[in-house]
Structure 1
């Protein structure tokens, strides 16, 4: 998936984390995200995952710093992702970091990437609700970020498939990139 790997060496030289995990906590934290985080950490990959940050507040500067100082962002899209303005703001920031060289891997968890790209189903409904509460320019920025994310090649998880195998595939996708940036491939195998 070479199209995902646009990087600049100056960006990756100052990274504190290998992987920033972006997700809507209520949807996937207790099962998929905790399994993914544990697996990656077990393989020597330094991950950042928010640990119950306050809901409804501005994204804390510490979270933004962690995002900016990560080599890779893994975004886990689930059906209710777009209902969280926090997630949408984080997504916009991820794509700002991508322009500076961060590797971005979207995970479409039990949804199709076209739902994200075209803002269908719960994604579309959530954005319509946001339009009633927020400035239209802000919502348009979220729409553009969702479209951009849906256009990226990513991984698709379908309900009923072995989750462990899927997590191994994610590891295989990112490990050469992390090893290359660290300059030591042997750490990851």
Structure 2
């Protein structure tokens, strides 16, 4: 499933006349949300490099995050100050409470700040995220056991479904990552 992401085309390249108004309202064009152990040293570094080389001011958290930590105020601020979030759903995305809390913040900004959201399904089916199957189901079950907080886990489940229902891009297992990244970058040309 490769879906249109035309609504994101509102972000202009730095050479456009809109860039001055864009930069005054937003600190970043793009905020990257991803599960580090799945994608940081391969897909994400290449996506970040290509976005950056095309003049797209992109925030990528370079710190390895400790399990169980709450999303930091600095990260919350980066989300709030970004025009768009690209959420890269990978096999172990839901195993990170940090990623799930980040997802909640992104959705909050989508509602309150007209923040745009692009889901990218990295070698996982969109329906796996939407319906919390396979590794997503297992991770959420572990969170329910660990936290004994059904309301919080239910909010995460709802957030996953909401984002998976948005128009996005799907990289299948045997597809060329470089070409796929170019599809994302081309949205800003």
Alpha-carbon offset, residue 4 of structure 1: 4.9
Does the 8 Å CA contact 1:109/1:157 hold for their aligned counterparts? yes
Partner of 2:129: 116
Alpha-carbon offset, residue 14 of structure 1: 2.1
1:24 matched to 2:24? The reply is no
Name stretches of at least 5 consecutive residues in structure 1 with no aligned partner: 176-188
Does the 8 Å CA contact 1:11/1:102 hold for their aligned counterparts? no
Name stretches of at least 5 consecutive residues in structure 2 with no aligned partner: 11-20
Work out which of the residue numbers 39, 62, 67 in structure 1 matches 2:50. 39
Partner of 2:15: none
Distance in 1, Cα, partners of 2:175 & 2:110 = 30
Report the RMSD for the aligned CA atoms in angstroms. Answer: 2.1
The structure where helix makes up a greater share of residues is: 1
Distance in 1, Cα, partners of 2:136 & 2:183 = 26
Q: 1:35-67: CA deviations, max 9, x gaps?
A: 000000000001000011431221110011001
Aligned length: 173
Distance in 2, Cα, partners of 1:80 & 1:104 = 20
TM-score between both structures, scaled by the size of structure 2: 0.85
Moved over 4 A (4+): 2-5, 10-13
Distance in 2, Cα, partners of 1:58 & 1:28 = 21
1:42-57 alignment, distance < 5 Å: 42-56=53-67, 57=69
Work out which of the residue numbers 146, 152, 157 in structure 1 matches 2:160. 146
TM-score between both structures, scaled by the size of structure 1: 0.85
Q: 1:115-156: CA deviations, max 9, x gaps?
A: 000000000011111111221111011000000011111100
